[in-house]
Chain A
């Protein structure tokens, strides 16, 4: 241990440091592009990518069916927008799908 470290510990009246750990929850993990690239790489995840494609399609279909907001026709006044036909679903964030896939992998690993 370095002399200045020892001196600091003495002044603090401690024998050792207590390390603070900064844990992120899974939900807080940012999907860095490098993670997304690895999850799309068959050399890393193998065939399950087809499962991802299926999952993405299922999620999009589900969102389109249940959660699609009413789209406002470009030439409609606001007051009539609620009566407009549902438009295409808002695009889901790709990160959500990949996070779901990673979650699936995780439950597969623990199972």
Chain B
């Protein structure tokens, strides 16, 4: 089953937020979903409404009950990226640890290229989050060093924090759409309610059910399903 690898060459564009919301939206659509936080910052849980001091079970060592929020199993995986056993297993020809009937959504820090390169061969889809700012745009040259960005067939782009009232934001959207075509699978409009929800330790769906970002995220989950060749699950259809 799919490993969705959320990694951007530029930090601060909302990769953790998108990873979390995508996990929640896919769970709402009836999929079994596990979100893996590979970042040192440990901020993925914030978008599930968990407190900073609330520890997540470790992906390898945890036993007993899992932490499940909004239908998503949450696991800490930061140490896993440097774990020799895990690296050995991923590099071996053995069955992928991400096999099974479950979506795994990995949230990776921008600077953690090593873990990204380790996981990429196992990913059904690499999700590259961007925002319509120069710092993010110039990072287009570093999405996958060695391969021109427009030739990355397994990478889907998401433009986060889009603000149509700003010229550069609109033009960046058009530019990206023309540059990567249908590999731009969605946009998420900028909404301060996203930050307010995180500051309240509440999922955005509960804090601001009318948020425009939320509507965009719902569309995004469908776009990801399509990219992964998956339709609606029977549970979500009923």
Considering only CB atoms, which chain A residue lies closest to B137 in the complex?
A: A34
Considering only CB atoms, which chain A residue lies closest to B193 in the complex?
A: A1
A85 within 8 Å of B (CB atoms): no
Residue of B134, B175, B182 touching A29 (CB-CB under 8 A): B175
Q: Are B171 and A105 in contact (CB under 8 A)?
A: no
* Cα distance, A11 to B180, chains bound together (Å): 44
* Cα distance, A19 to B164, chains bound together (Å): 10
* Cα distance, A105 to B180, chains bound together (Å): 8
Interface size on A, residues (CB 8 A): 31
A103 within 8 Å of B (CB atoms): yes
Q: Interface on chain B toward A: helix, strand, loop, or mixed SS?
A: helix
Q: Are B179 and A26 in contact (CB under 8 A)?
A: no
Contacts of A46 in B (CB 8 A): 148, 150-151
Considering only CB atoms, which chain A residue lies closest to B181 in the complex?
A: A109
A7 within 8 Å of B (CB atoms): no
Q: Are A22 and B148 in contact (CB under 8 A)?
A: no
Within 8 A of B (CB), among A50-90: none
Within 8 A of A (CB), among B173-204: 174-175, 177-183, 189, 193
B100 within 8 Å of A (CB atoms): no
In the assembled complex, the CB of B169 is this many whole angstroms from the nearest CB of chain A, namely 9
| Contact indicator per residue, chain A 1-43, by CB within 8 Å of chain B (1) or not (0) | 1000000000000001101011110100110101101100111
Residue of A17, A34, A102 touching B134 (CB-CB under 8 A): A34
Q: Are B175 and A35 in contact (CB under 8 A)?
A: yes
Q: Are A38 and B140 in contact (CB under 8 A)?
A: yes
Q: Are A30 and B164 in contact (CB under 8 A)?
A: no
Chain B interface (Cβ < 8 Å from any Cβ of A): 134, 137-138, 140-142, 145, 148-151, 164-165, 167-168, 170-171, 174-175, 177-183, 189, 193, 208, 210, 212
Chain A interface (Cβ < 8 Å from any Cβ of B): 1, 16-17, 19, 21-24, 26, 29-30, 32, 34-35, 37-38, 41-48, 102-103, 105-106, 108-110
What are 11 A-B interface contacts by the 8 Å CB criterion?
A17-B210, A22-B164, A35-B137, A38-B140, A38-B175, A43-B149, A45-B179, A102-B175, A106-B178, A106-B181, A109-B150
